[in-house]
Chain A
Amino acid sequence: MVSPEAHSDSTTEPGSPWDGAPYPVLLTDVQGMVVLSNAAAAVLLPAARPGARLKDVAPAWLSAAHDVLRTPGLEASRPLSGVMGARSFEAHPSVQADGSVVWWLVDDTDHRLVREALTVERERTAFLAEASNMLLSSLNLGRCMGVTAQLAAEYLADAALVVAPSRGRRMPVVTSLRGASPTTKHEAADPNDVPGLSEALRGFPPVPSRWIDPGGAPRWMVPEDFGPVGSIVITPLPGHGVPAGALILLRRSDTMAFTQNEEVFAQLFAARAGAAMSAARLYAEQAAITDVLMQELLPPTLHQICGIDFAGGYRPSADHERVGGDFYDVHPAAVEGEASLVALGDVCGKGLEAAVLTGKIRNTLQALLPMADDHQRMISLLNTALLTSHHTRFATLVLASAVRNGSDVELRLTSAGHPPPLILRKNGTVEEADTSGTLVGALPHATARTAALTLSPGESCVLYTDGITEAKGGLTGDSQFGEDRLKRALGQCGGMPAESIVEHVQMLAAQWVGHRPHDDMAVVVIAAPRTHHLTAVSGHTRGRFTS
């Protein structure tokens, strides 16, 4: 390309062929001496005249690149780049046959600026993606506030505060200092004392971010040991129709103040944080409403009442639900010495709709408690209360009145169209209570027959819904658990505490169905507590393992 003879004297000649090149060009020889520099190179590096040492006249990165290139085995593979003056260049070497090198210097300043801007944007996008990820993962308001403050302190400022609109006199404030865990406080402060804060918290009308004078910031706004505050900006957190709060960003006086670009970016982040926080707030409100309504429908926790052990267990048909069409209640006797009333039943249908009907039945039964000693009358009145011309949605249930008599428990049991309760006797036999009747809520008249019996200490009475006995499973996958299996299992439960009988039955039914779909399942056990002197019974009884 360039002959050795040619370049020795062509350098000073104006109009060298290199002068027309659009880029600065330097030709250096094997020793690193400048041999030629074209017009553009002369403007860029005026000292790089032929005969000068590249080391003396070129920036260090370029002469270093030259050395690397001259060292065998250290082939520079990609364009090298660095700054010259106010601009930056990529150096593209091309090695000649005689060992001299032509350096093409390409101005990549604009390119580099664009690349840097791209990197910043990528980082911001990645940050926003991570922020969204973290914010969306939780539906807990406190957690969303914590995440918002922490992310903001990590990427946007030296410290960040998230203020939620207060419900009472105190404002919930989460403070996060970079590198530390966020802390939550409830500040008894008036947002009106901080310019822009109350507007941001009100959420309407929309307000832009607002700078406030660091000197005028209230004490609660500046974290302890923060040092002198350089700048503070308050950004509203836009919610979905409800104000989500405000984000306060603080920078120290030795940190650069917020640029406009950063402020815009902070708003993008605030939009995501605000959306997450208002979703969390809505979820919390919905959850609170559901909790209140659900409280009425959830089965109660049972325990010993008036010297009688009660235990209950409930498994709705769908795992994600907590209520269904089965129900039970225990109403303690109003007067000492009278019977407590147990009701367990099953309404036609499933899910929340059925649960609402169970609520109605439970309320009705509660109202009928004054006549709890007359099961037939209760059932008849309940039937009338539920009867409507619109449908034949019915319920089946068992009523049990239980009262302690010495160490025995006297029981009266009435089934209204429900599988009769099972009685576990001390000798291990399992009896069906002799009661039957019509279901309630569909026929013009409901009648029932009551069974009266006595439980001795250690004996129990098991009330259950057909979700247990009709559970499908077993070897074929569609055989019912059935009354026989239930009775056999109960035969092993003599003398057991009420809650472990419930648990045992629930476990067997659950194992029977495995992962198959099943109906709601409810079990209630009424047990006559064992008296203390009987405790030696059967502790060492060998269990049968029949196989």
Chain B
Amino acid sequence: MTTSPSPYLRLTTVDAATTVRIEVNGDLDYDSAPHLLAVVTGKLAERPDLKDLHLHCAGLGAIDSIGLSALLMIHRHTSTAGVRLHLEHRTARLERLLAITGTLDHLTTVTTGDANAPADTAQAKPRTNATPARLTGPDSTA
């Protein structure tokens, strides 16, 4: 299945037994990132049996901060759903962005749901606002 609402991003989704592979071709940015996020969220909802999500990144062009934000959101969703996220065939550009932003380990260390649990439960649960030092409330508009 190929979907491409944006001329700059083309997604090809391949379903297998317990895995889904999405090939990402083109730029992941302000305009196109919401599309990838929507496709992944849809797939997670549609496939409760899913164990592994592979994002094939060899064809990834430019990626901006909104694109990275989408990857972080995808990681949140997969963690919540107990699905392992694999960012495969990362381009040098993506690798560099993940390195500078300190997100490489977070996004690429594939762990079982348990090992990731303490961190992920904090963000996966609807926010309980348990953090004492929190200065501002959850803000959906921010």
Contact = CB atoms under 8 A, between A and B. Distances in A.
B72 A443 contact: yes
Contacts of B2: none
A392 B135 contact: no
A437 interface: yes
Contact of A348 (B69, B126, B134, B135): B69
Interface string A341-370: 000001111100000110010001001000
A393 B69 contact: yes
Interface string B61-90: 000111011101100100000000000000
Nearest to A449: B102
Contacts of A364: 135-136
Contact of A385 (B64, B120, B133): B133
Interface string A362-393: 00100100000000000001001111111111
B99 to A, nearest CB: 8
A444 B123 CA distance: 7
B119 interface: yes
B139 A348 contact: no
A385 B136 contact: yes
Contact of A436 (B100, B120, B133): B100
A417 interface: yes
B103 to A, nearest CB: 6
B142 A357 contact: yes
A385 B123 CA distance: 13
Contact of B65 (A349, A360, A388, A448): A349
Contact of A384 (B70, B124, B134, B139): B134
B103 A349 contact: no
Query: Chain A at the B interface: mostly helix, strand, loop or mixed?
Result: loop
Given A388-B139, A444-B122, A445-B119, A346 B65 contact: yes
A394 B126 CA distance: 18
A146 interface: no
Interface in B89-130: 100-103, 106, 119-120, 122-127
A346 to B, nearest CB: 7
Contact of B66 (A348, A390, A419): A348
Contact of A416 (B72, B102, B127): B102
A356 B142 contact: yes
A442 B72 contact: yes
Contact of A392 (B72, B100, B127): B72
B8 interface: no
A437 B102 contact: yes
B122 A391 contact: no
Interface residues of A, number: 40
Question: What class of interface size applies to chain B in its complex with A?
Answer: 20 to 34
A419 B66 CA distance: 17
Interface in A443-480: 443-448
B69 A417 contact: no
B101 A396 contact: yes
Contacts of A235: none
B66 A349 contact: yes
A315 interface: no
Contacts of B136: 360, 364, 385-386
B138 interface: yes
A346 B126 CA distance: 27
Interface in A487-533: 519
Contact of A381 (B30, B101, B106, B133): B133
A394 B72 contact: yes
A437 B101 CA distance: 7
Contacts of B127: 388-389
Contacts of B131: 384, 387
A219 to B, nearest CB: 56
A357 B66 CA distance: 14
A350 B65 CA distance: 10
A385 B134 contact: yes
A418 interface: yes
B65 A387 contact: no
A392 B119 contact: no
Contacts of B124: 389
Contacts of B64: 519
B69 A438 contact: no
A384 B134 CA distance: 6
Nearest to A478: B62
A350 B30 contact: yes
B63 to A, nearest CB: 11
Contacts of B100: 396, 417-419, 436
A417 B102 contact: yes
B120 A444 contact: yes
A93 to B, nearest CB: 77
Contacts of A442: 69, 72, 103
A438 B138 contact: no
Given A388-B139, A392-B72, A443 B103 contact: yes
A385 B142 contact: no
B65 A348 contact: yes
A439 B133 contact: no
A425 B119 CA distance: 41
Contact of B142 (A367, A393, A416, A417): A393
- With most chain B CB atoms within 10 A of its CB, the pick from A350, A436, A444, A448 is A444
Interface string B37-78: 000000000000000000000000000111011101100100
Q: Which 7 A-B pairs have the closest CB atoms?
A: A438-B102, A417-B101, A348-B65, A392-B72, A444-B119, A388-B138, A392-B73
28 contacts: A346-B65, A349-B66, A350-B30, A357-B142, A360-B142, A367-B135, A384-B134, A385-B135, A386-B142, A387-B123, A388-B127, A388-B139, A388-B140, A389-B124, A389-B127, A389-B138, A391-B142, A394-B69, A394-B101, A417-B100, A437-B102, A439-B101, A439-B103, A442-B69, A443-B106, A444-B119, A444-B123, A446-B102
Interface of B: 30, 64-66, 68-70, 72-73, 76, 100-103, 106, 119-120, 122-127, 131, 133-136, 138-142
Given A360-B142, A384-B133, A391-B142, 14 more contacts: A325-B65, A348-B69, A356-B141, A356-B142, A386-B136, A389-B138, A393-B69, A394-B65, A394-B69, A394-B101, A396-B100, A436-B102, A439-B101, A446-B102
